[in-house]
A and B are shown apart, each in its own frame.
Chain A
């Protein structure tokens, strides 16, 4: 069965430090990859996506993720985090097709401390 693994359930980090949130998926066939962010008591917001082309994708608020097909990974990075980045981050994959069902990881809570 297709799956997404986020090994770290929680990542504590100090403000202005770099961070990496890890995501691995189970298949090397053609995939579309996403990172969603969920702030407390809110819905999920699309942070960034990889559909095709350049393997490095960026968001408007300084996050980036790199698609690595050989390692079946899509890790999320930010060189310097802010308190406002505190949220839960979900990695998701779809293999396309008519229904395009999303498969989610279990989430990583990024806790930024002053």
Chain B
């Protein structure tokens, strides 16, 4: 258990509404990541953070933004949700000097 929680765990929202997902960690890890999981695609990186207020884009960042105002929280925002953003979203952390990532329990998002 890497001390990672995600909220909400499930959400249903309508097309065009903004949505924010939260990742919270308790162990002061520097690196945090947001992935989405879709059948046939595995996990794909959306955005990542390498410190407070330091973030960068991953391979599928269009339509998403992130913020990290404090070490323990990494927020993922869908500016205007679309049906193509229906997915399971996972947060991950990595220790400084380590190479492996540890994952949170996930958030299942449905956009209707």
Contacts and interface: CB of A to CB of B under 8 A. Distances in A.
Contacts, number: 55
Contact of B41 (A92, A100, A106): A106
B30 to A, nearest CB: 10
Interface stretch (B64-72, B74-82, B93-101): B93-101
Nearest to B58: A101
5 contacts: A36-B103, A43-B105, A100-B99, A101-B45, A104-B42
Interface in B25-56: 31, 33, 40-45, 48, 50, 56
Interface residues of B, number: 23
Interface residues of A, number: 26
Interface stretch (A14-22, A44-52, A57-65, A73-81): A44-52
A94 B41 CA distance: 17
A99 B50 contact: yes
Interface in A7-64: 9, 32, 34, 36, 42-46, 49, 51
Nearest to A1: B59
Contact of B50 (A94, A98, A106): A98
